Homo-oligomer: A and B are copies of this chain.
Amino acid sequence: MANTNTITIQRRVQWMDTDAAGIWHHSVVIRWLEEAEADLHRRLGVSDRTFGATPRVRTEFTFATSVQFDDLVDVTLTVSALGETSITYHLEVRRGTTAVASGRVIAVLIDRETGEKRPWPDDLRQLLAP
């Protein structure tokens, strides 16, 4: 069975993503994560039900090296766990074979009206579970 809950996208470090140290600003990793997440959820046909309904409760990133303007990176996002109401992503960013950054992000599904946590509906659970 094909693994539906992982995705790799390619991105370039843009000029706006750099800072006066001459390299990327580390916060760009959050943009890349969300762009991979959007592509993954679109492919699964669930982005209209998940985006804006899965606030982050925890983010962790480790940075191994820096990248520069115009560098090309592979951004791999994988669903690593699905709890009663939570989803955990694992992120890897590589430039060629060089590890740039890795991360773990935990979000929870909420009811958009009340803002309260709610269990994953069965169909979303089946699509997103690792």
Interface residues on A, range: 35 or more
A31 to B22, CA, bound (A): 18
* Set of chain B residues within 8 Å of A51, measured between Cβ atoms: 15, 20, 69-70
A63 touches B69 (CB 8 A): no
Interface string of A1-39 (1 = CB under 8 A from B): 000000000001011101111110111001100110010
From A54-62, A84-92, A121-129, the one touching the partner chain is: A54-62
Question: Chain B residue with minimal CB distance to A62?
Answer: B58
Interface residues of A (CB under 8 A from B): 12, 14-16, 18-23, 25-27, 30-31, 34-35, 38, 42, 47-48, 51-53, 55-63, 66, 68-70, 112, 115
